[in-house]
Amino acid sequence: MKFIFHLKFKEKYGGFGIVELLIVIGIIGLALAGMVGFGNYALKVNSQIKHRVAAVYLAEEAIEAASIVKDEDWSLLTALNSGSPYHPAINSGKWVLAAGAENINNYSRQIILEDVYRDAADNIVSSGGSNDPGSRKITATVSWTNQGQNYQMELVSYLTDWQP
Confidence at residue 12, expressed as pLDDT on a 0 to 100 scale: 56
Q: Which of 141, 140, 132, 124 is nearest to 160 (CA)?
A: 132
DSSP at 81? P
pLDDT in tens, 43-86: 888 888 999 999 999 999 999 999 999 999 999 988 999 999 99
Q: Which of 71, 78, 94, 96 is nearest to 86 (CA)?
A: 96
Residues of the chain with pLDDT under 50: 1
SS3 of residue 121 by DSSP: coil
What are the beta bridge partners of residue 62? none
Confidence at residue 18, expressed as pLDDT on a 0 to 100 scale: 80
SS3 of residue 1 by DSSP: coil
